[in-house]
A and B are shown apart, each in its own frame.
Chain A
Amino acid sequence: ETGVTQSPTHLIKTRGQQVTLRCSSQSGHNTVSWYQQALGQGPQFIFQYYREEENGRGNFPPRFSGLQFPNYSSELNVNALELDDSALYLCASSIRRTETEAFFGQGTRLTVV
């Protein structure tokens, strides 16, 4: 096991609602990233948090936002949910903020209906 934990594991939301996903990083890791994985595709980078600040973002709209807390845990918030937001959301922690392995939590499977 990686030591990265996510909650909840499954979630069903209605279009237009808001959702918050949570992640606890591996001990000693100060960098947390979030990924979205649609069915049949590889994970897509949403953003990264380092020292409680967003320091990198992929091609996702502003309704995807996040936080990192002093204990390095993190949240992903998605507002105004759309059907296409249905996916597996993966949190990954790493020991430094660039060019390094990332260790993933088990993911949150979000279904938007």
Chain B
Amino acid sequence: RKEVEQDPGPFNVPEGATVAFNCTYSNSASQSFFWYRQDCRKEPKLLMSVYSSGNEDGRFTAQLNRASQYISLLIRDSKLSDSATYLCVVPWGGGYNKLIFGAGTRLAVHP
């Protein structure tokens, strides 16, 4: 089993749609989780941190289910500018900040 798994997509949605991405992880000891956004040929940028059961920031909601080792990201009212790859990230602990990235889910929002 991969350490962090995501549906690669692509998700093609119209503007205004609601879209959800799923992520599963194998390290049950992880205490924090992150979603990063990466535009084509650019660096990953932190979108949201999740330390408890979930987090909400405007149109973005992240949910965490520790029992199932599952994280989700919900985007409401999609904008064209949301088109990007979304990376699920889990710190691996062990005394250093090794971040394990999923391969990413690609989102394309069209008019």
Cross-chain pairs A/B with CB under 8 angstroms, 11 sampled: A41-B103, A42-B4, A42-B102, A45-B98, A45-B100, A55-B95, A98-B91, A100-B97, A104-B44, A104-B45, A109-B41
Partner of A99, one of B4, B31, B104: B31
| Beta-carbon contact of B32 and A100 below 8 Å | yes
Does A76 reach chain B (CB closer than 8 Å)?
no
Do most interface residues of chain B lie in helix, strand or loop, or is the interface mixed?
loop
Does B49 reach chain A (CB closer than 8 Å)?
yes
Does A33 reach chain B (CB closer than 8 Å)?
yes
Does B34 reach chain A (CB closer than 8 Å)?
yes
Does A105 reach chain B (CB closer than 8 Å)?
yes
Does B16 reach chain A (CB closer than 8 Å)?
no
Nearest A-chain residue to B90, judged by Cβ: A99
Partner of A43, one of B30, B42, B44: B44
* Residues in A whose Cβ lies below 8 Å from that of B94: 56
Interface string of A13-47 (1 = CB under 8 A from B): 00000000000000000010101000011111100
Does A78 reach chain B (CB closer than 8 Å)?
no
* Cα separation A97 to B93 with both chains bound (whole Å): 9
